[in-house]
Structure 1
Amino acid sequence: MQNRALLIAFHFPPQSESSGIQRTLSFARNLGSFGWKPMVVSAAPMAYERKNASQLASVPADIEVRRPLALDAKRHLGVRGRYPQLLALPDRWISWWLFAVPVALAMVRKHKPAVIWSTFPIATAHLIGLTLQRLTGLPWIADFRDPMLQVDFPSNPLQRRMFAWIERRAIERCTCATFTTRGALESYKARFPAHLHAKFQVIENGYDEQSFALDGAEPATPAGRPGQRPVTLVHSGVLYTEGRDPSAFLNAIADLRRQGRIDAGRLRVVLRAPSEIAYFQALVESCGVADMVAVEPPVPYREALREMLDADGLLVFQGTPFNKQIPAKIYEYFRARKPILGLLDPAGETAGTLTAAGFLDIAAMTSREAIAPVLERFINAIEDGSAHVADDELVASSSRTHRARQLAQLFDQSITSPAVPAGSRPVR
């Protein structure tokens, strides 16, 4: 007989803007293989600015998913985008808490789950988890995909105080707190008392083999490339003007072309779904590389995977503001078994992860002078078939199935020694 786990997650199909849906979705798919039957409390689809109905097909039919109402203060309660701050604390979806708690309590009474799991970066998810833990006394795993408090986030003082309160109470009352990177875990150790450190665990992001299998996708042979077409490099995902700024990279391409070292017949770059398409298209044009760099709109998730598999090399942008984070796409890049060019802060956790995995084509994201020789070396290695790709051991250890096993083990530990905080009131 399987134990049941109640998963609280805002990011879940059909939401399509955040890669976070893949973390919860993969746990929902894979926990059953390790003795745990998941149930999900997510949000009504109207809460999402961007939706992709095709994502719903990836949710297993035998998993109960409840979607209580969640209003977006900006879109549903505001006037011309303006809304009272009190309607958006700790975030714009605080109304979700009002409707999700009774729905979740009804599921607890009916199905008797043995553990609760909630996942940030929507702070309301942890507020729901905190409320449920207090009312039920159940063990609670609080998943911090990103640190709740960062140097410049949240910038609003009142929201920052609210985040700090939720974070502190979550760390104090949860059975275990999980993080996606070692750097994030260490930052929490630095801010919280030593007696809480035993709660902290790392469960990294990963890739979902089922997504690759559903696509019928197998990576091309890593060595070499077909024909004499240009080397195609792909970045799939959001870019920013700070932290993931491709400006220096685009200027490095322009520099190499002026030196006669590359041209449109040798290199093609695809920036897929960077969010502000018009802005980045204008940036590409201002750098004079529009014939070599294409800025493309979002596509369904499996089409994005197909594009990764068809590429000759993959790009990752991760600057200093994200030094304690590793983008989820890194693990998909590993599974694609393609060469990876890192435009990073060399002191960040993403750079350390790539280096440890043998990917040494790394350059400071903000330096066109540093990028140009690394980019040229990277292109040369792809052309002569010597570029490094992930080995079988790295691919296996990066799978979300492996991450689900780790989470199931934490669930097992939490019900054998739950250490429920005083003051909890079990639901009968």
Structure 2
Amino acid sequence: MTKSILFIFLDYPPKSGPGAQRNFYLNKHFSQLGWQTKVLTMTLQSNGMGDNSSDDKEVIRAFGKDATQIFSIMGKYPKFIEIPDRWYLWILPAIIKGYKACRNNNVDYIYASFPSYSSAIVGTLLSKILNKPLLVDLRDPFRFRYDPENMPVHWLYRWLEKKTITQASMLITTTPECSEFYAKLYPEFPSNNIHVIHNGFAKEFHDEFEVPQKLKNSQPFTLLHSGILYQIGRNPDVLLKAIHFLISQGEIKKGQFILRFRGANIWPALSLQIDELGLTDFVEFKERIPYTQAIEEMSVVSANVLIQNSLFNLQIPSKLYDILALKKSLLAITDKQGALAKEMTHLDLPYFSSTVEETVILLRKLMTVAQIPLTNNSLNCRNRYYMNQKLSNILNTSLKSS
């Protein structure tokens, strides 16, 4: 029996980033596992950040533009322009394209990938129109659950979340913590239809990846944070204070240590803190680079750091698995009650801290003793192919019982 699924992805190559890569390999692995797949995504964006850009006939692109670019004046726009998200202009074209693609070619499932509100809306409406089961991939919880911005319209996001979950036949999360959160939030939703499919690394990508020889063993000791920072939820305050302490003790000297923030924004208070702590010679901010180049950089620096404060306790950054696949040393600044700390404990990686004092101890070890990487057998438990195979098996079982 031919099994078919329509994936609704806002993020898809040639767009770069971990979300696009995750979606690319989900589609690829499902095809390898015997599914007939279609991908509904946005028209190509000329952002110069792409890879895996070879579309095939099963990739359906609907027109879409970033509303904040269209309606901005001199780079500024009112906040309501990005409600429910900045990509809402693709909702109607996507519904039309999705309907045309599926009305004559039956699909068994419609799969909508969050954290895009617009993707959730497209999936919910297509599921209603086509009368097909909706799978909601909560890669992250609905954003208003952890984002304090746009408080006046949280009622709208709460309504969208309820409508989407009410329409859904299955919820897919990436952490047990997120699954438990939604099970408690919606006790009427069958708990046996909430599944954890962990994030992971794409073995195919890492097997083909080669560390540039000329960049190996680079000096000074470089600690890299790759990705966005936030004042609330991903604030480097603890890390900066720990580095300041080690400098004051003479354990870190100028020219021997660099903390690099790649693709991160810097806000005034953060800039002031770096200056007041005397860290201007030890901290650098670099512009965002494409995903493949970002992985390359992660592979050649001395160590990588993740920052995940309690606001994001239900989530695990996908970079964790890329760092582990690269067999690089790692430090995580995170709440010990959060999903990241629990995942690292599960994988026997005791390299996380939540206080300045603990971070000082881990930084000392990081700069002097090489961490023992996970064995290939341990690493394989987070191989993205096996994660997607697990999801495929769940859907196969559901089809047989329906």
TM-score (norm 2): 0.89
Q: 2:379 aligns with which of 390, 395, 415?
A: 395
Percentage identity across paired residues of the two chains: 25
Matches within 5 A, 1:184-333: 184-217=178-211, 229-264=219-254, 266-276=256-266, 283-333=273-323
**C-alpha RMSD of the superposition:** 2.8
Segment of structure 1 superposing worse, 354-363 or 116-125 = 354-363
**Residue aligning to 2:147:** 153
Q: CA deviation at 1:332?
A: 0.7
Structure 1 residue 339 displacement after superposition: 2.0
Indicate whether 1:344 and 2:334 are aligned: yes
CA drift of 1:328 comes to 0.8
Give the match for residue 163 of structure 2.
Answer: 169
Preserved contact between residue 89 and residue 162 of structure 1 (Cα < 8 Å): no
Offset at residue 357 of structure 1 (A):
1.4
CA contact (8 A) 2:183 2:189 kept: no
Q: Which has the higher contact order (CA 8 A, sep 6+)?
A: 1
Residue equivalent to 2:48: 52
Q: Which shifted more, 251-260 or 326-335? A: 251-260
Aligned to 1:7, what secondary structure does the other structure show? Answer: strand
1:411 aligns with 2:399: no
Cα shift readout 1:255-313 (whole Å, capped 9, x = no counterpart): 11221122245433322111348986665444323333332212221111112221232
The answer for the alignment partner of 1:27 in structure 2 is 26
TM-score, normalised with respect to structure 1: 0.84
Of 107, 110, 118, 1:116 maps to 110
Counterpart among 378, 381, 393 of residue 366 in structure 2: 378
Mind listing any 5+ residue stretches in structure 2 that lack a counterpart? none
Structure 1 outlier segments of 4+, above 4 Å: 149-152, 277-283
The residue aligned with 2:37 is 38
- Of the structure 1 ranges 322-331 and 67-76, higher mean CA displacement relative to structure 2 is found in 67-76
For structure 1, the residue ranges without an aligned partner over 5 or more in a row are 220-224, 419-428
Q: Deviations over 1:98-135 (max 9, x none)?
A: 11111001110243332211111111211111111111
Query: Is 1:11 paired with 2:26?
Result: no
Q: Aligned equivalents of 1:69 and 1:273: distance in 2?
A: 27
Instruction: Decide whether the 8 Å contact of 1:204 with 1:403 is kept in 2.
Output: yes
Is contact 2:111-2:134 (8 Å) kept? Answer: yes
Paired residues of 1:315 and 1:341 also in contact (CA < 8 A): yes
- Match of 1:396, SS state, is helix
3-state secondary structure, aligned to 1:111: coil
For 1:91, what is the secondary structure of its paired residue? coil
Q: Aligned partner of 1:355: which letter?
A: T
Q: Is the 8 A contact 1:252 1:368 kept in 2?
A: yes
**Are 1:68 and 2:62 an aligned pair?**
yes
Does the residue aligned with 2:42 lie in a helix, a strand or coil? coil
Find the aligned partners of 1:130 and 1:231 in 2 and give their Cα distance. 49
The Cα of 1:92 is off from its aligned counterpart by: 3.0
Partner in structure 2 of residue 422 of structure 1: none
In the alignment, residue 11 of structure 1 is paired with which amino acid?
D
